C-alpha cells in the first residue's frame, strides 16, 4: 500500500488515503515519486472541467522519480534510473507516435487525468520505452520535474509552433507557472520578453526570470492594455492564463503578421477576433505538451545554463499539504511561482 491524494468529488477537498501501489503492465514503469509540481491543469481537473477524468482519482502529472520496477517488455528504462515524462504519454504504436507527434496521440494516457497521477508515493509511466525521459546526473531533478508539463508546453509553443527567432519580442499574458516558464524559455532563446500580469509578486518573479519589461494591467481598460502592448510590437503573444478575454486581447495586441500561442487551458471554446486575424495576417496556434523524443533539446538548454526551471520553485510542501496547495491554486489564492510536492526525499 502507499499514501496518495484522492479526489472523491469534483471541487471537494481532496483527502490523503492508503491505496494499493499501482501494478505496471508489460510495457509500463513504476516510479517512486521524488517531486511533483502543482499545476493549474490539476486545479482544472479538480473543478471537473476535464471530461477524461473519472472519480475517484489521484491528481499530479509533472514529476520526477526513480524507477522502482518495469514490465517484462520494457527494454530502455532501467530500474534505479531517474526519470520524468511528458504529461501526454503516447500509445507508442499509432501513426502520430511513429511520426514523433506523441503529444497529439489519439490513444494518449495522462497521469493525473486518465489514470492515477503523481500526488502519491508511486506513479506509473505507461509505455515506458516510448514515454520515459531519462534524467542525466547533471540535471537538477526538480527542474526535470517541471519539464513534464509547463516547460515542455511553453518550449514547444515558442520553438516548434511560433518559430520564435532571437531578437523578436514576445509578450507573455499571465505569469503563473506556465507563463513564467514561457518567460524563462523565451529569454533563454534570445527574445525580448514583456511579461503581463496583475500581481506584483508574479511580475517580480518574471523580471527575475529574464523579462526585459513588465506590465501591470490591474485597473487598465482592455483598449489601454492593447495600446501598451502594441507599443512593444510583439511578434509573438503567449496566452498563459486560459481566459477568453485574454486570448482576444492577445490577438489584438499582436504586431502585423504576428503569432499567438494558446497555452493556458480554456474551460470553454472562446470567440477569436477572426477579423483581426484576416486583416493583419495573424496566426493562432496551440501547444499541447511535447513528445518524450523531443526532450533532449530542452535538457541541453538546461545543461548549457540558459534555462533553470527550478528557480521558479518558491514553495515545497509535503504530500499531506498537497490538497491545500491544489485548492489554493484553484481559487487563485496560491503564492507566485511554483509549488512542489515532495512525497519522497527531495525538499522533504
E-strand spans in 126-183? Answer: 133-134, 169-173
Q: Which residue has the cell 473519472?
A: 54
Least CB distance from residue 44 to Zn ion, whole Å? 8
Q: Which is nearer to Zn ion, 110 or 225 (CB)?
A: 110
Least CB distance from residue 213 to Zn ion, whole Å? 27
Separation CA 215–CA 227 (nearest Å): 12
Secondary structure string (H, E, C) spanning 32-91: EEEEEECCHHHHHHHCCCCCCCCCCECCCCCEEEEEEEECCCCCCCCCCCEEECCCCECC
Least CB distance from residue 87 to Zn ion, whole Å? 6
Q: Which is nearer to Zn ion, 234 or 289 (CB)?
A: 289
Q: Which is nearer to Zn ion, 154 or 246 (CB)?
A: 154
Q: Are 304 and 98 in contact (CB under 8 A)?
A: no
Least CB distance from residue 272 to Zn ion, whole Å? 23
Q: Which is nearer to Zn ion, 41 or 154 (CB)?
A: 41
Residues making contact with Zn ion (CB under 5 A):
39, 41, 90-91, 94, 97, 105, 149
User: Rounded to an integer, what is the distance from CA 82 to the centroid of its chain?
Assistant: 20
Q: Positive or negative CA dihedral for 162, 165, 171, 175?
A: positive
Least CB distance from residue 177 to Zn ion, whole Å? 8
Q: Which is nearer to Zn ion, 20 or 332 (CB)?
A: 332
Least CB distance from residue 40 to Zn ion, whole Å? 7
Q: Which is nearer to Zn ion, 122 or 151 (CB)?
A: 151
For the CA atoms of the chain, what is the radius of gyration?
A: 19
Q: Are 202 and 177 in contact (CB under 8 A)?
A: no
Separation CA 215–CA 95 (nearest Å): 43
Q: Which is nearer to Zn ion, 83 or 251 (CB)?
A: 83
Q: Are 318 and 288 in contact (CB under 8 A)?
A: no
Least CB distance from residue 279 to Zn ion, whole Å? 34
User: Rounded to an integer, what is the distance from CA 60 to the centroid of its chain?
Assistant: 11
Amino acid at each position: 500500500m502507499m499514501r496518495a491524494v484522492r479526489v472523491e468529488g469534483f471541487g471537494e477537498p481532496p483527502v490523503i488515503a492508503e491505496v494499493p501501489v499501482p501494478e505496471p503492465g508489460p510495457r509500463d514503469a513504476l516510479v517512486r515519486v521524488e517531486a511533483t509540481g502543482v499545476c493549474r491543469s490539476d486545479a482544472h481537473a479538480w473543478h471537473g472541467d476535464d471530461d477524461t477524468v473519472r472519480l475517484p482519482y489521484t491528481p499530479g502529472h509533472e514529476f520526477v522519480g526513480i524507477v522502482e520496477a518495469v514490465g517484462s517488455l520494457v527494454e530502455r528504462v532501467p530500474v534505479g534510473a531517474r526519470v520524468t515524462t511528458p504529461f501526454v504519454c503516447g500509445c507508442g504504436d499509432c501513426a502520430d507516435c511513429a511520426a514523433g507527434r506523441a503529444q497529439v496521440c489519439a490513444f494518449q494516457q495522462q497521469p493525473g487525468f486518465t489514470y492515477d497521477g503523481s500526488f502519491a508515493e508511486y506513479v506509473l509511466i505507461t509505455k515506458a520505452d516510448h514515454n520515459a525521459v531519462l534524467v542525466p546526473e547533471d540535471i537538477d531533478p526538480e527542474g526535470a520535474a517541471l519539464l513534464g508539463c509547463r516547460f515542455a508546453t511553453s518550449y514547444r509553443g515558442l520553438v516548434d509552433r511560433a518559430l520564435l527567432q532571437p531578437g523578436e519580442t514576445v509578450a507573455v499574458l499571465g505569469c503563473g507557472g506556465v507563463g513564467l516558464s514561457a518567460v524563462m524559455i523565451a529569454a533563454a532563446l534570445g527574445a525580448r520578453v514583456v511579461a503581463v500580469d496583475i500581481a506584483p509578486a508574479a511580475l517580480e518573479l518574471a523580471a527575475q526570470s529574464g523579462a526585459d519589461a513588465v506590465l501591470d494591467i490591474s485597473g487598465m481598460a482592455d483598449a489601454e492594455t492593447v495600446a501598451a502592448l502594441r507599443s512593444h510590437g510583439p511578434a509573438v503573444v503567449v496566452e498563459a492564463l486560459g481566459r477568453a478575454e485574454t486570448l482576444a486581447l492577445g490577438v489584438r495586441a499582436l504586431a502585423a503578421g504576428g503569432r499567438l500561442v494558446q497555452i493556458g487551458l480554456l474551460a470553454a471554446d472562446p470567440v477569436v477576433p477572426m477579423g483581426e486575424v484576416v486583416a493583419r495576417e495573424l496566426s493562432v496556434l496551440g501547444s499541447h505538451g511535447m513528445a518524450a523524443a523531443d526532450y533532449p533539446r530542452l535538457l541541453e538548454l538546461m545543461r548549457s545554463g540558459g534555462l533553470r526551471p527550478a528557480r521558479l520553485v518558491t514553495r515545497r510542501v509535503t504530500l499531506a499539504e498537497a490538497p491545500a496547495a491544489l485548492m489554493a491554486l484553484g481559487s487563485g489564492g496560491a503564492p507566485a511561482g511554483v509549488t512542489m510536492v515532495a512525497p519522497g526525499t527531495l525538499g522533504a
